[in-house]
Structure 1
Amino acid sequence: MEAGVSVIICTYNGAALLPDTLRHLARQNVPPEIPWEVIVIDNASTDQSAAVAASVWENSGNKTPFSLLHQPQPGLTFARELGLAKARYEFVLFCDDDNWLCPDYVKRAYELMMQHPEIGMLGGYGELVFQEKPPHWARNSRLFASGPQALRSGKVKTNVVYGAGSVMRRTAFEALLKAGFRSRLTDRKGASLSSGGDYELCFALALAGNAIWYHDRLIFRHFIPAKRLTREYHERYFRESAQSFSALVPYRFLVNKGSRSLADFHFQYAKTVANYTRKLLPAFIKSLLLPAGLRTSQANELAYISLKAKLGSFRNYRTMLQNFRELLLFKQQFQDQAKSQFLQVNPKVNMLSQSLRISD
């Protein structure tokens, strides 16, 4: 795989957002020795997203190769997969249609991925830009991809970074596919607020032994339109995004908690449910009362809604258990494949292992 950067922008009805995103991308300071390209995936849009993207890039004056692809199957995961199949280069930068990359983003992403071959996924630092003044409870909302993703640059302990502005090593992803990886989430689908596909990719890469990194010098601005600043939007997001837990929780048990068996799964499952349950009553009280006995802020109400939705997702016990079993099998298949490839590349080691088996 040729070293370089393929910038993939997946969009659904993003005609209003794409012009600013593409103009910032066209102003990238990329040295001539770093090959790169831009790929826009129109994911079943019903507006003029494709025409707008093509026109803006043509008029930008940037001569970097530009491709416009159409994915008629709704779902951000399917759009990403099409982009990955068509990308020319080893490093794939997922730029959302509302991300404004700083001028040296592509260059720094390339350099970091070249310097650290252990990185499977690399995340950046998002700065929020609001279309209009946000309510106080939305200014630091965890709903938006923004802020630092670790205490310092380097490996992320949680093994996840948000998808906006993330950079993935394509050969690491292709190794997952060869071992039988399949995504369990569609991620954003049309107007739906389902999510989690970015975390699933990170967890799968980490499960296969890749490092998940964050770097504070990878800076982009995340534009937030007014329609995403309503209470109704936040409520719907918390309820719909919690549906991804049935897929993500088994990954978290395996990757972050070190679970190795079904007994470990049941222990972590019971522990997590108990933890959420313990937090629920205090959150409910905060959602109703202020110290003065009055109605509390919307931030506390939304925190309670979010916690309740997360706890509710654990009703999908059988689905979580099945996903955990499949991930255990996938992990074993990946390890077996890696061992087989190692022996093929190192025939002397293979001969030694065979002789040891014969002597046994």
Structure 2
Amino acid sequence: MTDFTIAIPTYNGALRLPSLLERLQEQVNTETIAWEILVIDNNSTDGTEQVVRDYQTRWTKQFPLRYSCEKEQGLAYARQRAMTEARGTWVGFIDDDLCPALDWVYCACEFGQEYPSAGAYGGQVHGDFEVQPPENFQRIASFLAIRERGTNPHLYKPESLCLPPGAGLVVRKQAWLDSVPDRLAFGGRVGNSLLANEDFEALLYLHQAGWEIWYCPTLHSYHSIPSSRLTRDYLLRLMRDTGRGVCGLRLVGATSLERLAIILKLGFGSLRRIVLHVLKYRGQIATDLVAACELRYYLNTMLSPFYWFQQQRGNVRVNLQNNLAVSKEEAIAKAKIVG
């Protein structure tokens, strides 16, 4: 029986994977833990598979290094593949730009044993910046998966979308399989889109199934943030796309009657935040990047119901096309039988 799986979803990670795999080989206090490393290649085009295969040929550790490929593009699909193929009771997601502390596996396993009602938990994710972040960056640091919430374990608050990021997230495998749909509404970032939220969506399903979501202060990792992710253009796009997904998250598990109330509350609440923000930072938004990012997020949160409606229309169209395709195939098959 395997206690723990380290799952590494990666897309074109040939240059990033070696340092992470080397780091994981140095994990301490794991002598009594049965664990494995599972690399999920999300349809890479840069030789990622060959990098993993090369490591496998010279792998001497007691814990196995496994490889799997998920052809459907999107982090959500890579994570789902990890959940179906992982052998561990717990699955810890380590992105290829994350550097875990040397006791990461040990601390993750220890916390899971101490909190049996936890369906998922995340630790402290510190920023490893290539360049100095903008002034007051801590106000928006969470949008880049940074979490530094003190030294005491505590419950997150899913009802207010206060949740751990997917980077460094540990999940009880069976809880995920029992609670999270095979296909999420949010597929993850693909191409130029920064619309993510797939991790939050999965956690909301876990929470609604009765599982607790915890913060583990002893679980440390360092998120590599290149200069390209601190530019004005990138941060504003990140805020825009993240805000657009808020309505979809708020409506997870909601009934038809609840949806209307949630949408109205979201719209009026966002409008109030926009007005207060503009009054507080008027004259500074053009020069204060963090204030501009916050405003962009509030604006797109207010508009997120429209993007949700648009997404629903798109889903209906896709389902209709799929049904028509199936009907056509069935008709052809019947014609062949009759013929």
Q: TM-score range by the shorter chain?
A: 0.7 to 0.9
Partner of 1:315: 306
Cα deviations across residues 35-70 of structure 1 (Å, max 9, x unaligned)?
Answer: 000011111222232333444576675442001211
Q: Distance in 2 between matches of 1:317 and 1:183?
A: 14
Q: Distance in 1 between matches of 2:184 and 2:286?
A: 42
Contact 1:9 1:94 in 2 (8 A): yes
Shift of 1:18: 2.0
Contact 1:239 1:309 in 2 (8 A): yes
Q: Decide which moves more: 199-208 or 234-243.
A: 234-243
Q: Secondary structure at the match of 1:10?
A: strand
Q: Secondary structure at the match of 1:47?
A: coil
Q: Distance in 2 between matches of 1:136 and 1:295?
A: 14
Query: Residues 266 and 13 of structure 1: is their aligned pair in 2 closer, same or farther, counting only changes over 3 Å?
Result: same
Contact 1:194 1:244 in 2 (8 A): yes
Q: Distance in 2 between matches of 1:150 and 1:314?
A: 34
Contact 2:122 2:168 in 1 (8 A): yes
Q: Secondary structure at the match of 1:121?
A: strand
Matched, 1:303 2:297: no
Query: Residues 5 and 23 of structure 1: is their aligned pair in 2 closer, same or farther, counting only changes over 3 Å?
Result: same
Q: Distance in 2 between matches of 1:190 and 1:319?
A: 19
Q: TM-score, normalised by structure 2?
A: 0.82
Partner of 2:209: 208
Alignment identity in percent? 27
| AA aligned opposite 1:304 | L
Structure 1, unaligned runs of 5 or more: 323-360
RMSD: 2.7
Query: Residues 152 and 263 of structure 1: is their aligned pair in 2 closer, same or farther, counting only changes over 3 Å?
Result: farther
Query: Residues 52 and 21 of structure 1: is their aligned pair in 2 closer, same or farther, counting only changes over 3 Å?
Result: same
Q: Secondary structure at the match of 1:188?
A: coil
Shift of 1:139: 5.7
Shift of 1:3: 5.0
Q: Distance in 2 between matches of 1:149 and 1:201?
A: 21
Q: Distance in 2 between matches of 1:321 and 1:264?
A: 17
Matched, 1:271 2:272: no
Partner of 1:161: 164
Contact 1:99 1:220 in 2 (8 A): yes
Cα deviations across residues 107-155 of structure 1 (Å, max 9, x unaligned)?
Answer: 1111211222211011110011112333335465232111235784132
| AA aligned opposite 1:43 | N
Within 5 A, what are the aligned runs for 1:90-105? 90-105=89-104
Shift of 1:318: 4.6
Query: Residues 277 and 320 of structure 1: is their aligned pair in 2 closer, same or farther, counting only changes over 3 Å?
Result: farther
Partner of 1:330: none
Aligned length: 309
Cα deviations across residues 318-355 of structure 1 (Å, max 9, x unaligned)?
Answer: 57999xxxxxxxxxxxxxxxxxxxxxxxxxxxxxxxxx
